[in-house]
Amino acid sequence: MTLAFDGLPPLREVLADHGIDPRKALGQNFLLDLNLTGRIARQAGSLEGRTVIEIGPGPGGLTRALLAHGAAHVIAIEKDPRCRPALEAIGAHYPGRFTLVEGDALEIDPASLTDEPYKIVANLPYNVGTQLLLNWITVPVWPPRWTDLTLMFQKEVAERIVAGADDDHYGRLGVLAGWRTEAEILFDVSREAFTPPPKVTSAIVHVVPRAEPLPVSLEALERVTAAAFGQRRKMLRQSLKPVGGEALLARVGIDPTRRAETLEVAEFVRLANALS
């Protein structure tokens, strides 16, 4: 058996040995290039002494990179029981530094898994990536327990996360992410890097929480953005009719002929505060 840089078998051998084939229903596209997983781990910043939570580790390529780059403890949430033997082998190789949590990441609060501040680093399943991010950036208590997120998304989703006003990708996700965090795309990942190759390019996004986001009710902000972007090509006086229309816009001094994609995050906050 050929061994990789960390003394464990290459990932293709791991998949073959344990009979793990990527399943579309689980949103699985495995990263088998350990050079690439190492690059992602480095982009997460210093891991020395840090707790890292990983979502959907699959056969453990990114898990191995995180541990090899010094993470004190990696807690991996995995829904697919077929991956358990491969992940347990990693835990045995790094005794005391790896914990496997079997379950659905949509139903597990990462903050319940550790008392320490933590990073989240993950190649997120495409089918739940956006919802997971929203779960993490809309927690009721802010700043959150996570210190930063280093996540892989479809590039189109990544562009929506980092988008600002007057960007074609700007929408509800960009407003919510821009309100509470600072996010940037670090680099693209070719579809050929995955097994099986997805139909789209991916991108790594780094997200850091803002210490003091503008004060606003999350519920009100979501109502305003849902209305505004629900009819994004219409003027605000029309799209915002369900939440007050021209009267609401007049209260905060925003031109009713503007469109949703022209408003800065701070202007959406003003609208939401006037609504609530």
Structure tokens at 172: 């509800």
Express each pLDDT in 98-111 by its tens digit: 999 999 999 999 99
Structure tokens at 201: 């390019």
Beta bridge partners of 184: 206
Exposure of 103 in the CB half-sphere (CA atoms within 13 A):
11
What is the predicted pLDDT for the residue at 15? 86
What is the predicted pLDDT for the residue at 3? 56
Query: What is the pTM (predicted TM-score) of this model?
Result: 0.94
Q: Which residues of the chain have pLDDT under 70?
A: 1-4
What is the predicted pLDDT for the residue at 234? 96
Considering only CA atoms, give the Rg of the chain: 21
What is the predicted pLDDT for the residue at 257? 98
* Residue environment code for 68-104, b if the CB has 16+ CB neighbours within 10 A, otherwise e: bbebebbbbbbbbebbeebbebbbebbeeebbbeeee
CA pair distance 246, 63, nearest whole angstrom: 52
Give the pairing of strands 98-102 and 146-154.
unpaired
